[in-house]
Amino acid sequence: MSDADTLLEEVSSYLKPKDVERIRHALEFSDNAHHGQLRQSGDPYISHPIAVARILTPLHLDPQAIMAALLHDVVEDTDITNEDISKKFGKPVADLVDGLSKLDKIEFETTEDAQAENFRKMLLAMARDVRVILIKLADRLHNMRTLGAMSREKIERIARETMEIYAPIANRLGLNAIYQELEDLGFKHLYPNRYSVLAKALKVARGNRREVVGKILDAIRQRLTEHHIAAQVYGREKHLYGIYQKMQAKSLAFSQVLDIYGFRVLVDEVPACYLALGALHALYKPIPGKFKDYVAISKANGYQSLHTTLFGPFGTPIEVQIRTHEMHKIAEAGVASHWLYKTAEEPINDLHQKTHQWLQSLLESLSESGDSVEFLEHLKVDLFPDEVYVFTPKGKILALPRGATAVDFAYSVHTDIGDRCVAAKVNFELVPLRTELKNGDRVEIITAPHAKPNPGWLSYVVTSKARSHIRHFLKTMHFQESATLGERLLHQALTSLGLKAADIDNNAHWEKLLRDISIKSRDEILADIGLGRRLNMVVARQLARTGETGTSQENPASSGVVTILGTEGMAVQFAKCCRPIPGDPIVGVIKSGQGLVVHTHDCPSLRKGRSGMEKWLDVTWDKNIARPFEVSIKLIVANQRGVLAKVAAAIAEAESNIENVHVTNEGDYTALYFTLQVSNRQHLARVMRGLRTIPEVVRITRVKSVPA
């Protein structure tokens, strides 16, 4: 019997005759479209779409999905268009095929960009219809089974992509069999020697341990019968990559991995799970800390089961999974159980709701990242398999990746809570926001109305939702602040030309300028000025219709003085090399991409860059500026006990905060370098006067930088 006949026989077992006939037409259409095409292995190309469809038939997918599987390469590899498929097989099938088609006709700068954009498109389609990813996983599985005909470089790239993206997605959707086979095939192609050695060792061990496994199976069945628990019991072998991961994680030799065999107990109802657990714990002693209850708290992919590890005969650890038949169906088929089993709606509905929530969170990070490569990075993080389960104050359970922090928790509850969080309580105790959460933690987030995301959070958050929201907020904030600064710089330039902002601040002037330079909005130009990408004088002259071009090199310093308010945020930076504070004579330098950087007028680093005068601006402090500024001072003190405490007390008494302190020995004396927070020069002078009253202080000076 041919593969095509076998496929039609398989779908006949669960589909109506008219649906089987539609699949037959799709099969013939695909065969004709791919006529004469061969795979790299030399097989007729039609063998691939048939194999993909056959991987999906055990999941009992509907006719549309099976037809899309048969047609998934037609648009990519032949002259047939998506419109042709829509007319012949209907729009739903055409939409599935479109979601699976690569973006080969668009040129990308790098392979990484192309790969990222393909994933982006596929996941958008997947969010609309999860069947897209089911077909794509079947497609990838067959490709991995037949990867041998490729070049070594291509094999490694496809295998790594499978391990990083496709296998974790299959795991996330609860497709256990596909997930394990993808991991094993990826392992086989990435590390062929390790795979071969391990496979041989497993084959030998299988024979040696057959008798032990048989005895344990008989003992478990007998004990469950004695307790009047109806159950199916069978042994299961861990998949090869799972054994390899355990060897890697615990630095074990294969002979030390004793639990390559596990046992599975299937019962009729949830209470029977716990009765079976009690019976087995009476048969073999449980290993402390090795019990997990995924029945009460299911995994994010809907998986439910009791896991326990027991001391078996001869001291062999035995892993046992106990679950109901319904849980087992979902554990094996995951999100596809919707098509495979039409009963027990409650757990399936819950599973589909969780899958939908995950897809929606992917869409959020997709829309906010903007960059396909950045989104792919988010996706890899989001597919991290290990999870911790934590509780909200109201008792709701949230699943987060291992390593997640209080900030990740805040964003998983709601974006606004993440944006406004200022502190966290874990198990009723205040903890830093960077605290990693553990299983069972009760987490409460404290918010403030005017709080904002901190760029430093990006160094420790692990969820894609938190990372994408923080980046989006910072990008938006930076843009808005730069646009506000750019508007002030443009108004200064217009004033120097003898014009009032109101004279040209109307839509007609701006619309013509936007058309001339092909920019979408006024704010983009203002942000470019604020970030130093455009000269304020050039834009002012373009608006004033003086005929000047964008190559004007007029010194923007002639545009007047820019007032530093201290509230500009990221659009204005205060140079670390000289740490200016209110009261210091200052000068501004426009740096492309950074915006306005403020230095003291005698900053040594400015002497090297006098050639770039066209980017210098006269700046001055606003009289009412009220915010702390960092400043560095150096103290030479006598080496006496308690001197550091005296210095710190004097600084606190002068109402200044210590940001950093650095100590070096200089013979009989010690040099103390402090970074302090002060309001202005008068405040700094008050701090220094207080320090001079300490007898042990020999000398005190303000410094322009602190030693590393």
Active centre residues (catalytic): 76-77
The alpha-carbon radius of gyration of the chain (Å, integer) is 34
H/E stretch holding 209 reads: none
Query: Which residue is associated with the tokens 């504070």?
Result: 581
State the pairing for strand pair 317-324/261-267. parallel
DSSP 8-state symbol, 395: -
- Helices 372-382 and 111-128 meet at what angle, rounded to 10? 60
3-state secondary structure at position 201: helix
Report H helices in 370-463: 372-382, 406-413, 415-420
CA distances (Å), 246 to each of 188, 243, 288, 437, 689, in order?
Answer: 16, 5, 19, 24, 64
In terms of Cβ atoms closer than 10 Å to its own Cβ (0-12, 13-18, 19+), residue 187 is buried
| Contact of 67 with 23, CB cutoff 8 Å | yes
Q: Across the strands, what pairs with 286?
A: 310
Q: How far apart are CA 379 and CA 122, in angstroms?
A: 13
CA distances (Å), 472 to each of 82, 144, 365, 428, 455, in order?
Answer: 35, 37, 9, 31, 11
Q: How far apart are CA 529 and CA 659, in angstroms?
A: 33
Instruction: Please report, as a single letter, which amino acid is at residue 672.
Output: L
Provide CB contacts within 8 A for 153, sequence distance 6+.
Answer: none
Phi, then psi, of 291 in degrees rounded to 5: -110, 130
CA distances (Å), 137 to each of 168, 336, 386, 544, in order?
Answer: 11, 12, 21, 60
Q: How far apart are CA 138 and CA 131, in angstroms?
A: 11
Query: Which residue is associated with the tokens 């217009």?
Result: 494
| Contact of 447 with 421, CB cutoff 8 Å | yes
3-state secondary structure at position 590: strand
CA distances (Å), 254 to each of 32, 135, 181, 212, in order?
Answer: 50, 36, 20, 18
CA distances (Å), 97 to each of 69, 194, 500, 616, in order?
Answer: 8, 37, 59, 57
Instruction: Please report, as a single letter, which amino acid is at residue 533.
Output: R
- Helices 131-145 and 47-56 meet at what angle, rounded to 10? 120
3-state percent breakdown (helix, strand, coil) of the chain, nearest 5: 55, 15, 30
H/E stretch holding 212 reads: helix 210-226
Dihedral of CA atoms 185, 189, 195, 197 in degrees, nearest 10, equals 140
Provide CB contacts within 8 A for 667, sequence distance 6+.
Answer: none
Going by C-alpha positions, the residue among 536, 700, 552, 557 that lies closest to residue 634 is 700
